Amino acid sequence: LTSAQYPTLRRNPDFKTLNDNDVAFFKSAIKSPAGVITADTPDELEPFNQDWMRRFKGQSTLVLRPSSTSEVSAVLKYCNDNNIAVVPQGGNTGLVGGSVPVHDEVVLSLQNMNQIREFDPVSGILTCDAGCVLEVLDNHLAQKGFIMPLDLGAKGSCQIGGNVATNAGGLRLLRYGSLHGTVLSMEVVMADGRIVECGKPLRKDNTGFDLKQLFIGSEGTLGVITSVSILTPRRSRAVNVAMLGVSSFDHLMEVFKQAKMDLNEILSAFEFFDRTCLNLVKRHIPNVRAPFDADTRFYVLIETSGSNKDHDDDKLSTFLEHVMTEGMVEDGALAQDATQAAGMWNIRETITESLAKEGGNYKYDLSVPVAQLYDVVEEMQKQLAERGLYAADGSATGAVKHVVGFGHMGDGNLHLNLTSTGWTTELTQAIEPPLYKSIQRRGGSISAEHGVGLMKAPYLSYSKSADFIDLMKSMKKLFDPKGILNPYKYFPPS
């Protein structure tokens, strides 16, 4: 697929087409010879044009990889002065087509800005370049007894700047809250090249507008984040992981309520997935085995984290006794060591990869009241079946193969996923408007964590009012008057 798939998104003719003088400027502004990739090396260019799902593809002929904030500033000033459109890019693991160009926008990759600037072991405040990979940061903190307050399946590639720019949620949000609470300050380069400190690495600072909050989740449309200060908690000494098999969604909710009651402050994750998700993981991921035999409709992964193993073990056994004796759970297993715990997490974390391997993967990250999470999946199955596009036994060949649900139950965040042989406009139309209408009716949000990007820009009005979108456009004008930052995304096409 190329941007030709989005015929309504014409290239904005106000943006300049790059010439040799522009490339010469960028080569002079970025000191490292590896910092500029051009069409002379198409194989090197390609991964920056293609998203993780291989669904969205741009046509950029230039990737810039600055090594310092001042280089980012020089690049953006030049782009702004010359009307050159720019796509900020982190680890390129985004799932909504926001991180790759649509046409020939310059890719500004933060890959080479990957230094840890400071860590204070008393306050737990970490300050680092935006291009630091999440897992690298977490490993660094592990040596000091701390942990990053967020964790995602993409941790080996995604960058903290990308996490902040998307307001990523992930597997630890239930415990440590969103980045709106843990990010303390950031350094941002504005579209015109100005370098702005948004706050200081302090827990409390009540001077001026809290502008950093605007950049969290702004998906590269307001400025380029070049460094982040984030509050990191102590790593828990006692961690337990259990996987349980549950026969109905009503039982799953009972288990969730019981977990909150019995495990309360030590509950650090409550993730669910349906039977098809587990089967797809077993099909696509080598050496994966479910920790027990029961074939149930739903599975739940529960993690506790605390500072006293005996105390946590007691709480967990009370909880397990409740859910087993009261018939909420069919079967289950408690990890006996770190390897078994990692094996259980591996099942949950490889669902994304397994679905992607099925072909055209339609992904949705929806917020809905917890009680209605799985109704959304069943509604989609029913609606597609009525149109002859889906059959639970797989007999509707050529259309939708699987309609599955998994996600961060503890956060009311459903990942509805569909797989097909590819992505077509017809199927997208059959799925998206009715889905988003249903989410609006349920009082939910069309994006709980992946963001808007290119994929959901036309549907923003299902979650935000016209007045709200107008206000967003005014802020965009203020921060990026020429609209050079991540064009065609985030805002509904006019």
Residues that bind ligand MLT (CB under 6 A): 153, 351-352, 363, 365, 407, 415, 449
Is residue 268 a contact point for ligand FAD (CB under 6 A)?
no
Give CA–CA dist 430/223, Å, rounded.
35
Which of the residues 315 through 344 are near ligand FAD (CB under 6 A)?
A: none
Among 29, 64, 158, 186, binds ligand FAD (CB under 6 A): 158
The binder of 91, among ligand FAD, ligand MLT, none, by C-beta within 5 to 8 A per type, is ligand FAD
Q: Residue 221 or 305: which CB sits closer to ligand FAD? A: 221
Q: How far is the CB of 172 from ligand MLT (least distance, A)?
A: 11
The binder of 69, among ligand FAD, ligand MLT, none, by C-beta within 5 to 8 A per type, is none
Is residue 102 a contact point for ligand FAD (CB under 6 A)?
no
Among 26, 48, 52, 146, binds ligand FAD (CB under 6 A): 52
The binder of 66, among ligand FAD, ligand MLT, none, by C-beta within 5 to 8 A per type, is none
Which of the residues 199 through 258 are near ligand FAD (CB under 6 A)?
A: 219-220, 224-225
Q: Residue 135 or 313: which CB sits closer to ligand FAD? A: 135
Is residue 98 a contact point for ligand FAD (CB under 6 A)?
yes
Q: Residue 187 or 331: which CB sits closer to ligand FAD? A: 187
Q: How far is the CB of 356 from ligand MLT (least distance, A)?
A: 8
Is residue 66 a contact point for ligand FAD (CB under 6 A)?
no
The binder of 363, among ligand MLT, ligand FAD, none, by C-beta within 5 to 8 A per type, is ligand MLT
Look up residue 151 and give its two tokens.
Answer: 């964790």
Q: How far is the CB of 43 from ligand FAD (least distance, A)?
A: 20
Among 90, 245, 405, 458, binds ligand FAD (CB under 6 A): 90
Q: Residue 329 or 418: which CB sits closer to ligand FAD? A: 418
Q: Residue 444 or 487: which CB sits closer to ligand MLT? A: 444
The binder of 92, among ligand FAD, ligand MLT, none, by C-beta within 5 to 8 A per type, is ligand FAD
Q: How far is the CB of 238 from ligand FAD (least distance, A)?
A: 24
Binding site for ligand FAD (CB under 6 A): 52, 87-95, 98-99, 110, 130, 152-154, 158-159, 161-163, 165-166, 168-170, 219-220, 224-225, 352, 449-450, 453, 486
